Amino acid sequence: MDQIVPINTGAHDTVVVAGGGGFIGGWLVRHLLESGFRRVRAVDVKPLHEWFQCLPEAENVVADLRDLSNCRRACRNASHVFNLAADMGGMGFIENHKAECMLSVLINTHMLMAAREARVARYFFSSSACVYAADKQTSAQVTPLREKDAYPASPEDGYGWEKLFSERMCRHFSEDFGLVTRVARYHNVYGPLGTYDGGREKAPAALCRKVVEAKVSGRHDIEIWGDGEQTRSFMYIDDCLKGTLMIVEHDIGEPINLGSSRLVTINQLVDIIERIAGIKLRRRYNLAAPKGVRGRNSDNTLIRRYLGWEPSVRLEEGLEKTYRWIFDQVAGQPRRRAVY
């Protein structure tokens, strides 16, 4: 990925990545280490062998951050905290595990308390486009969502409410206690070394896996959830990392969209993956499956105003890298957990 202006830390400061064993967190830990940071603490509830990337140069800690005492230990001597930790997944998961998703509010609440006590310089919270009001996402040709469209509040039940509440917690910790917080609303992040099966995968990885399985098995058909005309935008992991670090260092005191503004249907997403795979599949539409909102897209006016930048990795480029990696996991020599 492109070189990013480094975050401002002292020589002996620690950068904490909560959720460091997850997809985005693992890539963030890797990028920080490759950028020269020597004190990176990755914290995740999963055992180390389940981390998507477990890098020995980092301080890798297995801990449940729903517990305040663990958050205090995680934030010890920290200058920057990136809170990416949450119990979440794709639409199939969040529609059927609302209580589990809501419990993630404990992570952000206790991490904010611990960060304040540790006098952390900057605190980042990864929110989601699921905070947006459902009645603004009823058309496939959706008007791109502006940050103010989160109110009046009517977010995705469970997961969306947790994210919106946690955004407010960040705001009030800034107002009441002077903790500098930054909030980005991620829109559908994808890329290699992510979840591609098991029920928590999101659309790009799920569809890449289904295409690989169809190609390898010789059964040239694919199940698509819904009618395939629902729309989304998808952001490649490199753009997510770059945007996150830029947001942390800029004076952006309000939640901000971080996502691609290119709107595509699920059918168009399948078209792209089929071209990458060199195959054409029969499509079976499961209208009873979880589908989420009809359309969702990111209005990037605010991020362009603040940063003079927006996510730009072409969907075709990001999907090719993602497909090739998933192909290796399904049909080649799996290395799902990248432990170095």
- For the annotated catalytic residues, the residue numbers are 159
Alpha carbon distances (Å) from 302 to 77, 117, 155, 163: 33, 32, 21, 20
Q: Which residue has the tokens 């591609």?
A: 196
Burial grade of 138 (CB within 10 A; 0-12, 13-18, 19 or more)? exposed
Q: Is the torsion defined by CA of 109, 110, 115, 117 positive or negative? A: positive
Q: Is the torsion defined by CA of 214, 219, 222, 223 positive or negative? A: negative
Which of 304, 295, 293, 292 shows the shortest CA–CA distance to 256? 304
Q: For residue 95, what are its two tokens?
A: 């529609």
Q: For residue 272, what are its two tokens?
A: 């792209």
Which of 154, 99, 152, 155 shows the shortest CA–CA distance to 127? 155
Q: Is the torsion defined by CA of 180, 242, 191, 226 positive or negative? A: positive
* End-to-end Cα separation, the chain, in angstroms: 20
Alpha carbon distances (Å) from 82 to 254, 270, 277, 290, 318: 16, 33, 36, 30, 24
The C-alpha atoms of residue 274 and residue 319 are separated, in whole angstroms, by: 11
Q: For residue 206, what are its two tokens?
A: 């799920």
Count of H helices and E strands in the chain?
11, 15
**Angle at 65 (CA atoms; ends 179, 102), nearest 5 degrees:** 90
User: What SS3 class is residue 128?
Assistant: strand
